[in-house]
Structure 1
Amino acid sequence: MFSWIFPASIQSTNIHCPSIEILHDPLKHRALECLRDLIQIGGGGTWPPTATYDESWPLPLRAYNAIIRTMEPLLPVEEPSMDDTRNRRIIASFRARLRSELDRCVEMKEVESTLERWQSESDCSAQSAWLGFFACISFLRHSYRWGVTPIVREAQNEEFVAFPNQLDIPWTALQRHFGTTSPSGCMTSICYSNIVADTHLQYSVTVGMPEVIRSTEFWNTKLVFDMEAKILPAYQKFAQAMAFIDFGRPAAARDALKSASDILKMALKYFFSTMVDSNMSHAVWMAYVQGFQGWALDGLDGISGGQSLIFRTLDAFLGIRPWPTPEKERLHIPEAQRNWLEYLRDYDIRAVAKEKGYYEVTAELDSLVKQLRLWRMGHMRRMQPYESVRRPERKTMTAGISVVDAPDEASMIEHLKKELGHRLAQTV
């Protein structure tokens, strides 16, 4: 059905073995069904997702990839201006050039009819292409929103930005397809869907910048992606543990959780060994990663580490409350991910194990909670050198909380420590 859209030569060949193992897991249980949906529907057959790009898209959509290649080197600057008037000119010039490219290259009638046809005809086999298109339009929207990176207060002062129809209409289709509501990109579109063959980024906001800046952007994305790849076998163990409990096999559930604990330990160790200055420079991370991933329009935030599926899964599986409201989670978390999380929350394995008197299972769950607490304590310390860097061209802001009412970086850190401290206190 899709031969006109997806030439056979460009079909993805990047197979994650744990994904295949989960898809062929012989256990029959709703938890595993949700996990398989995450892989097939949410990730195009793998988790983390394997996105495909312009050659896999319907022809009228490929112009967007050409446009982003034109605009990529025009966005970043090495030395941001402190002059608000000059920055307004820079932002206006970038947006005008992007509008011009969109007007020149995009045939909107063809795009609209293509998106409608693609939406109605696509199934999970096309998801990798949708993910790549999600990444492309996300980067274009964030680029238009900021107009320059590092971001500047002149853009942060904006309360409203009128986006071109060429970026709004595809976004509406993407929101409908993935089940999200935010006008901004998300972890799935800007991080999970932007790694190519584990070696480079498909789209970048640091083109032409020094190596330390480009490396920081790459490792920030790769770390997020790698964490999902490393933790995926633990997701399977979580699902198996729930199945074994329902089958009246507590020893098997205990063993599955022990294996999950070992996997989690290795993943968290990788996190801390990778999030180091030699990979992700303290000096440039806030300017070239955190800023661009923010949004700060219409009272809505951008990308946050809290959107990472690994930590939402741990909280959901372990019953760490409070849960995010459905409306807030729907902003940035695609539907297949939400369905997985909602099942974990509804099942509430700690309560079930306690009610059944499966104390050996409860002990393993408590061990997982301790690991999560230790990670949160370590992360609180590890993030401070990144978030405390002075950026005089902008207001204090985090990507996930937007502009913060803090007069300086020290106050900003205290604010973040307080926020993280709340979640640490709830991790029991």
Structure 2
Amino acid sequence: MKRLWLGLLVAGLLLVGALALVGSLNVRDEVDVDATSPLAAAGPRDSLVARGAYLARAGNCMSCHTARGGQSYAGGRAIDTPFGSVFSSNLTPDEQTGLGAWSPAHFWRAMHNGRSRDGRLLSPAFPYPSYTQVTREDSDALFAYLQSLPAVIQPNQPHTLRFPYDTQAALAVWRALYFKPGVYEADSQRSAEWNRGAYLVRGLGHCAACHSARNALGASSNALDLAGGLIPMQNWYAPSLASPHEAGVGDWDRGYIVGLLKTGVSPRASVTGPMAEVVLRSTQYLSDADLGAMAQYLKELAPPPAAPLPAAAPAPAATAARGAGLYEQHCVQCHGEQGQGVSGAYPALAGNRAVTLASTANLVQIVLNGGYAPATDGNPRPFGMPPFMLVMDDNDVAAVLTHIRQSWGNQASLVTPLEASRVRSGNAR
């Protein structure tokens, strides 16, 4: 009996200790919103608002905080997660439903600590694990810009997360495990340009939100490695920005990287899928200096350890023949008999890293739903690819993509009908 009570006592003490630890980890570097805290950013109001507008572009804030057909920054867009849907909040200065009653310190705490005005923990679907690196000066400029917008009366929609993910207790545990607040600290061993690029990529750009793999609880084990990962619920693979076999740009000319972020196309690649929206809504509006800084940072990302690519098994003869026939029927007119493409219009498929990625999700997405580069000021009439969802079944999609991945020197694995089916049904994992 004494052992039982001793065991219960130890268990209770461990529980209390764990709760205390979770609590302490959730108030690290906490912002005091009650202290007198004037705007950290100095300068005329108009210039502060203009700076905030630029930073809002850099963070692509409007995309998430504007529902389809809704008013800008009024929230209501559903962000699907593996745990349910999170609805973006109203960022306009309406006092009842938006940020009208917030102070700059409240907004800084949301960016830095992931807490709402009332102290409630925010869902990391709002990427404060990245935004915590934003400086107080930039946070205040962002807030000044949002306060300058027309007020929109639109109540925030409650999230529809499953239990226990809808509880503050679960969020507190998640944050204790995976979130640590901290403003970006410049690396004294690097150039000012590299540090500016790192600040934008890691902070407002929140590139790791897509380009890092996530665990079962939706957290990135190392958000700074940008090693690629499947975007939850979207069934698009955000390739590694460090690996030369995926989307690493270490050997690229800087101008090509800047051009890709500015226009969506370059001599070595073009963007489509979720990245097309990023270029359309965000990076095309950044200054050449900031894009150059981002390019320099991305060029200097440490590549992963070199490893031999596994040999791909050749496709069965029937699949190969079927794929070649489908390519001749639907693809050759634009992409060429040898997969050479048309410069400035249709990408080459021969030697294309996007074609030979280990993940086939993006290829299936493009064949089923079409591929479209963004219409930017630098490329206002991009060429696109029509969808084939109603033309090809899963066996067709698998066969033609296998043909493309194993022709003209490409040596990638075959695509299975099951992979095509998963993407078609929206259940790719």
Larger Rg: 2
Answer yes or no: same fold by TM over 0.5.
Answer: no
TM tier, smaller = under 0.3
Per chain length, whose mean CA-contact separation is higher, i.e. which structure has more relative contact order (CA < 8 Å, sep 6+)? 1
TM-score, with structure 1 as normaliser: 0.26
